[in-house]
Chains A and B, each alone.
Chain A
């Protein structure tokens, strides 16, 4: 079935380092793609989304571009902060099942 794959964590970076979290998906058709972030003890927060090929979602310094040719939606940030420490989930919307399919999550730790 359709799935979302993320790079395994945990990812540990120093403050101000460059971040990339890889995400690839399998899908029938052209799903909408999302990144969600989960801080400790909280629910998921929508970080950004893209609804069609070549769209770039951006928010709070994070960016991701919908790449149809490589079926990828990698998350990037130029300079991470300690407050970015969280678990990041890539997700796609399953147009046929009408539900969201989430990746396993990638834990990011940013050290001062």
Chain B
């Protein structure tokens, strides 16, 4: 099976712009989670989607949003970018049992630099 893919791998944006990142999960996985990784804060959970519904959300401002499509692909959007949004954004798709997440498999990440 192909692994989790994320596009683009690298992005440079300026303050105030918006950005959309894409994630294609492993075939058959219905749960997709997003994380932000920075040197100072480590790995922080953004949100999780299952069957096109956001089930869980971390402690991030409303500028961070996401969605999931019927084929389980997911996108996350960050509006009005700030310098502090520069980070590696990781997507993870999960095996589930009865809807509950079991194991997460990560993509290579999208590195976002905000100037």
Contacts and interface: CB of A to CB of B under 8 A. Distances in A.
Interface of A: 32, 34, 36, 42-46, 49, 89, 93, 95, 97-105
A98 B106 contact: no
A41 B69 CA distance: 28
A98 B53 CA distance: 14
Contacts, number: 50
A44 B90 contact: yes
B42 A98 contact: no
B64 interface: no
B105 A99 contact: no
A73 to B, nearest CB: 15
Interface of B: 4, 6, 33, 42-43, 45, 48, 55-56, 58, 90, 92, 100-109
10 contacts: A43-B6, A44-B90, A49-B103, A98-B48, A98-B101, A99-B33, A99-B45, A99-B58, A99-B101, A103-B42
B100 A46 contact: no
A100 B101 CA distance: 9
A98 B108 contact: no
**Residue of A44, A93, A104 most packed against chain B (CB within 10 A):** A44
